Each structure stands twice: as C-alpha cells, then as structure tokens.
Chains A and B, each alone.
Chain A
Amino acid sequence: MAAEPIAPLRGLRNLAILLAIWEVVGRLDLVAGGALPGITEILLRLWEDRGDYPRHVWATLAASGAGFVIGNFVAVAAGVLFALSPVALRLFRGVNIAVFALPPIAIAPILVLTLSGMAPRIVLAALGVYFVTMTATVIGLSQADSRATDLIRAYGGNRRDELRLVLFRGAMPSILAGLRVAAPNAVLGAILAEFGGGGRWGLGAYLLGSLGRGEPDRLWGIGLVATLIAGLSYGAFALLSRRVAGATRAVTLNSAIPDVSVQAGGPALRVALAGGTIALPFVLWWAFIRLTGVPDLIAKTPWGVVDYLFLAHTAETAQARLFAALAETLPITVLGMFAGLGFAFALAVSSRLAPRAIEAFMPVALITQTMPLVALTPLLVLILGRGPSLTLWVTISVTFFPAFVTLAQGLALVPRSAEDLPRAYGAGRWREIGMVTIPASLPYLFAATRLTVPRALLGVMIAEWLATGRGLGNLLNQSRGYLDYGMIWTVAAVSVLLSVVFYQAVVIVERRVLRRMGMATAE
C-alpha cells in the first residue's frame, strides 16, 4: 500500500476526483436533463462571457467590501461596549436581535424604497456582518480566562487594562472566526440587494437577468464566481485565525464558577430597561423613516403597519393573505432548522473522531457553504425543481454553515488537559466526546442554535421568493410587484418578529440548561 499523501495533497486529490465525476455526469446530462453542465462546459461559457464579468464583479465587490468594513467596524465597537456595559447590552438586546433576525430578502425592497444608489447594497452587506462579528466579539471578550483577568485586577488594573492586556488578545480567535463567517455574509447581502433592488451591475443583477433564459452553464458560471469571491474571503480569515489560535488555547481548564450577573438597581430600573429594550428597535425604525424623509405612502412607520394590518378597510384581506403565507412558511422553517443544526453538530463532533475524513470533506463543504445563497438557489431549482424539497435543502444549507463554524470553534477551545483525562483512564474516543467534548461545547451549541434560527427563515423565504411561489417570500415578491407598500413592510415586520420570538425561546432554554450545569452563556 502506498503511503498516505500529506493533508493538502489529499484535499487536492479529493477535489480532483470530485471534479472528474462532475465532468462526466455533466457531459452525459445525467442530472435533471442537463441542469448540471460539465465543468468544462461551464468554464467555456465563462470564457465566452468574460467581457461581462469585470463590471458585475466589481460592483458586487465594492458594495460587499464597503459593507464589510463599515459593518465590522460598528460591530467590534458595539461588542466592546456591550462587553463593558451589561446595561447597554440589555438595552440594545432588542435592536441586536432585530438586526440579526432581519431576513435581508425582506429588507432589500424596503432599503431600495428608502435609499438610493449603492447605499441599499452597502447597508444590506453591513447588516449581514454586524451581528456575527458583534456576537463573536462579545463572546470572545466575556469568555476570557477569569484567572488572567483576576491577575490584572489584583494589580489594580481597571477594565481598560483587562481589555488591553487580556481580553482583546484572548478574543482574537473568536473575532476572527466571526469575520470568517461575516465575509461570505457581506457578499450574500450585497447580492441580495442587487437581486431585490434592480440596478444594472452586480452579480445579483447579472444572475437575475440570466435566470429566465434557461442557460444552466451561465447560471453555474455566475454561481461559481460568486462562490469564489465568498470562499476566498472566508479562506483569508481562516488562515489568519489559524495563525492566531495556536498560542491562545488555554493550557489548563478554568474551573472558576462564572459570575452570576448581579441584578443591579431596583425593580423600577429593571422594568425601564425591559421597556427600553422592546421600544428601541421601533424608535430606530421610526427615526430611520423620518431621517430619510420618504413619504408615508411608501415608508410605513410601526404605527403605519398596525394601521394597515388591523384598522384599514383592507385589513381583513391583508390578514388572510398573511396567515395563509405563514401556514406555508413556518413548518418547513422548523424542519429545515433542526436538520441543518443536527447535521452541523454531528459533523463537528465527528471531526474529533475522524479528523482526516473531515479534512477531506472540508473543501467540499466550504465550497457549497460559502456559495451565496441567492446564487445557489437557481442552481438548486435546476436540479431539484420547484417543490418543497427545494425549500428544505436551501434551509438546511443556510443554517448548516454558521452552526458548524461556531461548533467547530467551540470544540477547538476545549482544553487539552480536560481531553487527556478520560483518555488517561482508558476511555475510548466516544466516551471522551461524551464526557468532555459535548458538555464543554454546550455553550457553543446554544450559540449556534441562536445563530441558526433566523437564518432558517431567511432560507425558506429566499426559496419561496425565487422558486416555489409560496409562503411569506412569495407574498413579499408579489407585494413588490403590486406596489403594495403596506404588505411589504408588514411581511418584513412579521418575519423579524417571528425570528425574535424563536430566538427568545432558545435563549430561555439555554439559560436554564447552562445555569444548571454551572456554565456561562456564550452571549
């Protein structure tokens, strides 16, 4: 038997095998009557279209790059603020969850109505990165080794010294993992805005223009280019974080009991905070509309949506349409979410069992997962048709990626000594995983679940908008066509509210479980 080739070579070998299979299958038109062209056919088409690409690619890059920088800058600043001030964190909780839960596809039409030029694309890209990076920053800062921060405090250091000497450096792997996930998000956000907002240039616009022409090779070409951009941005940060994480891993297990957050202030303050948390998103919504100065007919304030849905003479039909759409959207969202999450968890845990198999699988997983969803959906439509299974697959793939990255990172931070202990007592890999890996990664599993919830809804809505013609996504698309501004704002508001409710449900379970286990919440 020949010696096993070293890791990168093995990855290349697997990729080569995959490409060869793709080529054969494509050339023979084995998938859905030619929906999957051979790789060489796609490349040939790319070459033919080479004149079109630069301006589209440039437009997408510019928007997602600007959004990435702006969004991350705000996110890290906000993360530091929240890590330093629990009051601010609580007050902005509603805003954070709402920003996170905004299905970009629902917001795209709204941004196009209220902003102009490149602004909608940049805003959507920035929104796509904000929450991921902000959360990663707070997690990284708040999960610092309490022994190290004790040392700084014992020498009379203040919060700033802790930040400077311990927290920032300790949070780097977490922040970089956040940026890694955020980078493809920015591309996805920009393309979604191009998709939903018209405009001539940008890969989203190009894709939209080519969608109706039934040319699988061109659609695949655009999809590959979009994936390449997202994948390269992911890879750059993955490389960076690998260089940093090595020295940051704790050498011993920190067994200090995490601080139970002290409820400072009286009940009056707490009620005020809770009220502020709920009110702030609506205040910002209202302020955004007032600041952009868009007329009331087009831009609905929170009150405008209530009026549309409950008071206006068309309220009843509006409600009926909304509920019918919800009945189609909700079940498949829940199903897709659990499937995506389960798959991610199984894969992350088994990456401990069979690191080499995962290594071989990773390139494939990354390629499919960094593929911006809008670019992926038309291709999945070609293969899977426009039925419910399409929605399900899109949802699984959109939840899987962030969940897997979060979990894999959590597992990588499990201290060496904790893993060595069961092994030293002769425990097998499975025992070790059961005793150490899974419990230690629980905070990350919950964090991943929280991340996944709204994405599931996004996946479903994208599939509905682009392909199946059902549910909330379709309702949004239709309303755009009918210039039914009330319904556009209503769907956006309802989808955000739904996500927030799901999210809160996860948070409640998380608090209970982790408190019982004496672990800290990965906020």
Chain B
Amino acid sequence: MTAPDGIALSGVCKTFTGRGRVVEALRDVTLSCPQGSFTAIIGPSGCGKSTAMRIAMGLEAPDAGTVRIAGRAPLDAARAGLTGIAFQDAALLPWRSVRRNVEVPLEVLRRPLAASADHVGHLIDLVGLTGFENALPGELSGGMRQRVAIARALVTHPQVLFMDEPFGALDQILRRQMNLELQRIWAESGSTALLVTHGIDEAVFLADSVVIMHAGPGRIVERIDIPFERPRQPHLFSDPLFHETCDRIAEALHGG
C-alpha cells in the first residue's frame, strides 16, 4: 500500500454570490500532490487559486467534489497538526511580539510552549530575525513581517505546507534568498508543499510540478513537470533550460 497523496482535490466546484452576482470561482478542479512533492499553482488574479487553497485548508467548503489532506478531511488534518500555513498577508496578531506570533499555531493545537522554545528560537534565527523576538509587528517592515509568517508556518513541523504568495511582499533579492531557504527547509522536512504564486521563476525554481489556472470560471488548464535536479542551485536562475521552461509557462498563462 502506498502513502496517500499529501494533497488531493477531486472534482472541486465552488461558486460565490456577492452583491447580486454569481461568480464561478472553481469548476471541476482536480489536483493531486504526491507525498513529499512540491507543487506550485500559478495564474492570473481572480483565477481561483487562493480559493482552491482555502478549500484545501478547510476554510471554505466546496460546493461539490472531495478534498483529502494526507488522507484526511482538511480540518481533521489541521487539528492533528499536520499542516503549516503562510498567508499572502502576514496576518500577524498586532498585539503579539514576533516570538508570540510564531507560537500561535502551537497554542491553537494546545501544545506545550516550553517544549518548543528552542525550535521557535531556531526558526526565528532561520528567517533572519534574531534580535527582533520581542518586537511588535507594527515595528517591522513588510518583508520582516512576512518572514515571521514563514517561521510561524514551520513551527508545527508540518507534513503539508500551504503557502499563499508568501513572498509577494518581498524584494527580488530577498525573495531569491527565501526561495533557497524554503527549498532547504522543505527538503529537510519531507513535507508536501503547495505554493500559490504570481512569480513564474519562483514557481519553476521551487516546484516539481507547476499547475496553471485560468479565470472565468477558475479552472486548471495545464500541468507542467519541472525536471531539474535537487537541490537546485542559484545558478539555475541563469540556465537557458530554466528560461525555456519559464517561457512555456508564460505561454500557457496567456491563453495557450
């Protein structure tokens, strides 16, 4: 018997009704991410990629279709502490210090904080925020806040990692650095990762498989496997094959 897929969406449909209009956010979305794989979803704004992720996280219920996270219902997986989450917007609690924000998932899952103190400190160090443990989010830059969110996503040792444009607010230099870091952390953790992003190069660099979505209605139009060997090195960014792959994805995005 093989391990269940880390993330499995099957025939997922979702419509929203807002201000008198019906929006078909997702039509028959099927996506499976094998255990330990890294999948990136890319698509224009409003193509439903964030909705797909919210459904996978259990924040929205699909109108039709099934969702399995590590073989379980999404919220069951969350309650078992199998998931890690980094939002597009850092979504930090403004009254909590950096350290206390990183600890939020532990508190939700009712895990003892003392046991994880070293791990939390290590994560803060990993995202380069040593010395800022006691700063409040209001005192940090946008990039620093986002790095807190990454540290927070990793604090539970997740098996499945959801990232909704986690580096959207970072500058290109920092973003590449974080991409490298993320690859290392992900490889170490052996988790299944799902990344929603706008950045083609980021998707190609990180993912085993890039899923391309189109809007109106939101649907998956193509899935492209990325063959590069791991661990991927920074010089991959200047590899001709890398650019070729990026161009293929760009073509698929623009109606291919």
User: Which residues does chain B contribute within 8 Å of A428, judged by CB atoms?
Assistant: none
Q: Is the CB of A249 within 8 A of B94?
A: yes
Given A165-B104, A251-B137, A251-B138, A155-B94 contact (CB < 8 Å): no
Q: Is the CB of B75 within 8 A of A247?
A: no
- One digit per residue, 1 when the CB lies within 8 angstroms of any chain A CB and 0 when it does not, for chain B 62-96 equals 00000000000001111111010101011111110
User: Which residues does chain A contribute within 8 Å of B87, judged by CB atoms?
Assistant: 147, 150-151
Q: Is B107 an interface position by the 8 A CB rule?
A: yes
Among candidates B18, B81, B107, B138, residue contacting A249 with C-beta atoms closer than 8 Å: B138
- One digit per residue, 1 when the CB lies within 8 angstroms of any chain B CB and 0 when it does not, for chain A 140-171 equals 00000101101111111100010001100110
Q: Is A257 an interface position by the 8 A CB rule?
A: yes
Among candidates A161, A166, A257, residue contacting B18 with C-beta atoms closer than 8 Å: A257
User: Which residues does chain A contribute within 8 Å of B77, judged by CB atoms?
Assistant: 156
- Chain B nearest CB from A2 CB (Å) reads 35
- Chain B nearest CB from A514 CB (Å) reads 12
A161 and B75 alpha carbons, distance in the complex (Å):
14
A156 and B3 alpha carbons, distance in the complex (Å):
23
A518 and B105 alpha carbons, distance in the complex (Å):
31
Q: Is the CB of B94 within 8 A of A251?
A: yes
Q: Is the CB of B107 within 8 A of A165?
A: yes
- Chain A nearest CB from B137 CB (Å) reads 6
Quick one: which of A150, A166, A250 has the most chain B CB within 10 A? A150
User: Which residues does chain B contribute within 8 Å of A151, judged by CB atoms?
Assistant: 85, 87, 91, 104
User: Which residues does chain B contribute within 8 Å of A518, judged by CB atoms?
Assistant: 19
Q: Is B58 an interface position by the 8 A CB rule?
A: yes
- Chain B nearest CB from A252 CB (Å) reads 6
Chain B residues 34-79 with CB under 8 Å of chain A are 54, 57-59, 75-79
A252 and B76 alpha carbons, distance in the complex (Å):
31
A166 and B101 alpha carbons, distance in the complex (Å):
11
Chain B residues 13-36 with CB under 8 Å of chain A are 17-19
- One digit per residue, 1 when the CB lies within 8 angstroms of any chain A CB and 0 when it does not, for chain B 98-129 equals 00000011011100000000000000000000
- Chain A nearest CB from B142 CB (Å) reads 8
Q: Is the CB of A155 within 8 A of B89?
A: no
- Chain B nearest CB from A168 CB (Å) reads 11
Q: Is B224 an interface position by the 8 A CB rule?
A: no
Q: Is the CB of B94 within 8 A of A248?
A: yes
Among candidates A153, A249, A260, residue contacting B58 with C-beta atoms closer than 8 Å: A153
Q: Is the CB of A156 within 8 A of B78?
A: yes
Q: Is the CB of A152 within 8 A of B57?
A: no
Given A169-B95, A250-B94, A251-B145, A155-B109 contact (CB < 8 Å): yes
Top 3 A-B pairs ranked by shortest CB distance? A156-B79, A156-B78, A147-B91
Further contacts, 10 of them, CB under 8 A, given A154-B162, A155-B78: A147-B91, A155-B79, A155-B109, A156-B79, A165-B93, A249-B94, A251-B137, A251-B145, A260-B18, A516-B19
